[in-house]
């Protein structure tokens, strides 16, 4: 129920449509139940010799009632559609906005494929279920109750058929649903696997083609797709039993009403029960059975969607592990950085620290290089600076203030990070550059691109800065993407600029020109360069060598050649043959 309440908070402006749907449904049902009662009495009047004028008047009344009922039904369908579609829209907006506040730690808790499934398949299930809930889930039980009430008003003896049929059918439907639900629930995990397969394949399509692994990926996708098909088939095979069960109950109802109705009519010579009552009772029997059938469909759909509700609520109630302090600092005065007794692990359950005993002092304007092998936590270290993660122990200060005391937007606007995996978005080059500064002028963008050595290749493009970048940047090379991302970061005019192996796809000459430009044009900005090539960092004011999450050494290029075995080994391996 707590999950359901959280979902309903997203209803907001569509509450009115929900209430109107309930009103229209009640009106529709009352008229539908009243029509058989009127027609049954009309048959009795005709049998007793009623005049044609009376029959015509009642006929007109029945037609009007049917038309009004139809209008109520149409209006209910319209308002229910608006309410359910509006709920889905608001849920997507709320989930998307909430995910934007997640730290990396929160995102690690949910896989990206699972988040995609929750925002698509799960929300669609909730949308369909909500429409069914406010329309059919109100209509079916109300129709059931009213049909039974009118049946007992009409004739208690004939209405006793419902005392037998309703419990029997209800028990049968519950048993069927009980066995079908586990299969329905398992489907969602299979959807996550399917989306994961699609996402990986699309992102790594060049690798897949390069290694001729298309057949393998197709097999993997087929397996995930077949699993979904298998579980749905198993569930639908069980649910299909509702048809024979319904037919059996309907046949029993008709036989009971016809046999005992005819018997009572003959015995009472039409004074207690007559043809009109039998016809009406059969109509009510049909309404009762159809109501039960709809209630079973609702039960199956709602049970299926409950899993979706839980999965959506899990995201919505997830508390971001990194939030603004009550009275945040709103200015970063300079780019100085200080790590004091820092230990970090990705989760409380983790047994090993990713970073241990980190003590660093970086003055504003310095150029700092970071080297280390794969898995030495280089990227993890710099992610603590912009507070993408919070330290487990110790503190990280930027501009002399603990990063946990800053307003998050202020801090992250002051710390520009060009990540190892360069991401550009569909849109023009200008659109991508303005991610760094929405108000950047054309002159500022050109200046940043010249500094990042991107202006040269942009100028050769047909539309220059208005050239459209396809989704994922497939129409630019890896080195071009890296330079665009560096230019985008420079437009932020940050206090701290972090390059996480972000020049790996450019040649050494271009790399050297970019670093020279940084030194000349942004001398007051602290520059942190994570690199695999010693040539990218050997001119840095300080080089940090990381090994298994700890600082193995720090100093200048010359100092580390003398004092640090890891650095010396890397240098010698990269300079064999006299080439740096």
* pLDDT band at residue 392 under the 50/70/90 scheme: confident
Tell me, letter by letter, the H, E, C secondary structure of 174-225. HHHHHHHHHHHHHHHHHHHHHHHHHHHHHHCHHHHHHCCCHHHHHHHHHHHH
pLDDT at 578 over 50: no
- pLDDT of 189 reads 66
Average pLDDT rounded to a whole number, residues 302-308: 73
Residue 50 has pLDDT above 80, yes or no: no
Q: Give the pLDDT band of residue 559 (cuts 50, 70, 90).
A: confident
H or E element in which residue 313 lies: helix 275-316
Spatial separation of the C-alpha atoms in residues 273 and 279, rounded to whole Å: 11
Q: How many CB atoms lie within 10 A of CB 256?
A: 18
Q: How far is CA 74 from CA 28, 77, 80, 437, in A?
A: 10, 5, 10, 50
pLDDT, one tens digit per residue, over 264-275 is 666 666 555 556
pLDDT exceeds cutoff 80 at 105:
no
Residue pLDDT, tens place only, 116-143: 778 888 888 888 888 888 877 778 788 7
With 0.95 as the threshold, say if the pTM is over it: no
Asked if pLDDT for residue 414 goes beyond 60, the answer is yes
pLDDT of residue 20: 92
- Work out the percent of the chain whose per-residue pLDDT is above 90: 2
Among the residue ranges 33-37, 65-69, 446-450, the one predicted with the least confidence is 33-37
Average model confidence (pLDDT) across the chain:
79
Predicted confidence at residue 277, as pLDDT, reads: 65
- Contact indicator for 452, 514 with CB cutoff of 8 Å: yes
Q: What is the mean pLDDT of residues 31-55?
A: 72
**339 pLDDT exceeds 70?**
yes
- Most confidently modeled range among 157-171, 262-276, 512-526: 512-526
Percent of the chain with pLDDT over 70: 82
The answer to which of 129-138, 291-300, 562-571 has the lowest mean pLDDT is: 291-300
**Ranges 208-217, 339-348, 512-521: which has the least confidence:** 208-217
| Encoded tokens for 72 | 């109520």
Neighbours of 389 (CB within 10 A): 21
d(CA 336, CA 443): 29
Q: Which of 126, 145, 122 is nearest to 83 (CA)?
A: 126
Does residue 580 register a pLDDT over 50? no
pLDDT given at position 129: 82
pLDDT at 317 over 50: yes
The whole-angstrom separation of Cα 551 and Cα 531 is: 16
Residues near 244 by Cβ (< 8 Å), separated by ≥ 6?
Answer: none
User: Residue 523: what pLDDT?
Assistant: 80
pLDDT in tens, 170-197: 787 777 777 776 766 676 667 666 766 6
Return the pLDDT at 267. Answer: 67
pLDDT at 11 over 80: yes
């Amino acid at each position: 129920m707590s999950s359901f309440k959280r979902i309903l908070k997203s209803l907001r402006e569509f509450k009115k449509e929900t209430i109107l749907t309930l009103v229209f449904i009640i009106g529709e049902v009352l008229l539908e139940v009243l029509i058989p009662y009127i027609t049954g009495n009309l048959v009795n009047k005709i049998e007793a010799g009623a005049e044609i004028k009376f029959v015509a008047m009642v006929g007109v009344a029945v037609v009007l009632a049917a038309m009004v009922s139809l209008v109520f039904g149409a209006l209910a369908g319209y308002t229910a559609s608006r309410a359910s579609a509006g709920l889905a829209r608001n849920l997507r907006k709320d989930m998307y906005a909430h995910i934007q506040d997640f730290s990396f730690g929160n995102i690690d808790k949910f896989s990206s494929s699972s988040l995609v499934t929750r925002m698509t398949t799960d929300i669609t299930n909730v949308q369909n279920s909500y429409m069914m809930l406010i329309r059919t889930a109100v209509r079916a039980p109300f129709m059931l109750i009213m049909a039974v009430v009118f049946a007992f008003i009409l004739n208690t003896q004939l209405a006793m058929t419902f005392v037998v049929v309703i419990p029997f059918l209800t028990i049968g439907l519950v048993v069927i649903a009980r066995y079908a639900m586990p299969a329905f629930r398992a489907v969602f995990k299979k959807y996550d696997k399917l989306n994961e397969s699609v996402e990986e394949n699309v992102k790594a399509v060049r690798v897949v083609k390069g290694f001729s692994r298309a057949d393998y990926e197709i097999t993997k996708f087929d397996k995930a797709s077949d699993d979904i098909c298998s579980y749905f088939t198993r569930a639908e095979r069980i649910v299909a039993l509702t048809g024979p069960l319904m037919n059996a109950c309907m046949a029993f109802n008709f036989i009971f009403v016809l046999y005992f109705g005819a018997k009572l009519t003959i015995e009472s010579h039409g004074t207690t029960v007559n043809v009109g009552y039998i016809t009406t009772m059969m109509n009510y029997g049909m309404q009762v059975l159809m109501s039960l059938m709809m209630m079973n469909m609702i039960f199956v759909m709602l049970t299926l969607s409950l899993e979706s509700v839980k999965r959506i609520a899990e995201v919505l109630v997830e508390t971001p592990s990194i939030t603004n302090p009550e009275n945040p600092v709103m200015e970063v005065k300079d780019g100085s950085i200080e790590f004091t007794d820092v230990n970090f692990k990705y989760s409380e359950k983790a047994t090993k620290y990713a970073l241990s005993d980190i003590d660093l002092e970086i003055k504003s304007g310095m150029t700092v290089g970071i080297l280390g092998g794969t898995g030495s936590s280089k990227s993890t270290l710099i992610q603590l600076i912009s507070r993408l993660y919070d330290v487990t122990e110790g503190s990280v200060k930027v501009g002399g203030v603990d990063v946990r005391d800053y307003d998050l937007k202020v801090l992250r606007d002051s710390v520009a990070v060009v990540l190892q995996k360069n991401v550009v978005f569909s849109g023009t080059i200008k659109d991508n550059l303005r991610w760094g500064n929405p108000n950047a002028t054309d002159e500022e963008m050109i200046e940043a691109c010249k500094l990042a050595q991107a202006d040269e290749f942009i100028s050769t493009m047909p539309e220059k800065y208005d050239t459209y970048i396809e989704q994922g940047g497939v129409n630019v090379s890896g080195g071009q993407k890296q330079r665009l991302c560096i230019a985008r970061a420079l437009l932020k005019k940050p206090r701290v600029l972090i390059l996480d192996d972000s020049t790996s796809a450019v040649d050494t000459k271009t790399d050297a020109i970019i670093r020279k430009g940084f030194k000349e044009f942004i001398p007051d900005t602290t520059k942190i360069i994570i690199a695999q090539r010693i040539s990218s960092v050997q001119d840095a004011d300080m080089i940090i060598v990381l090994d298994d999450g700890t600082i193995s050494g720090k100093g200048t290029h010359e100092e580390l050649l003398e004092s640090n075995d890891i650095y010396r080994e890397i240098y010698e391996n990269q300079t064999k043959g006299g080439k740096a």
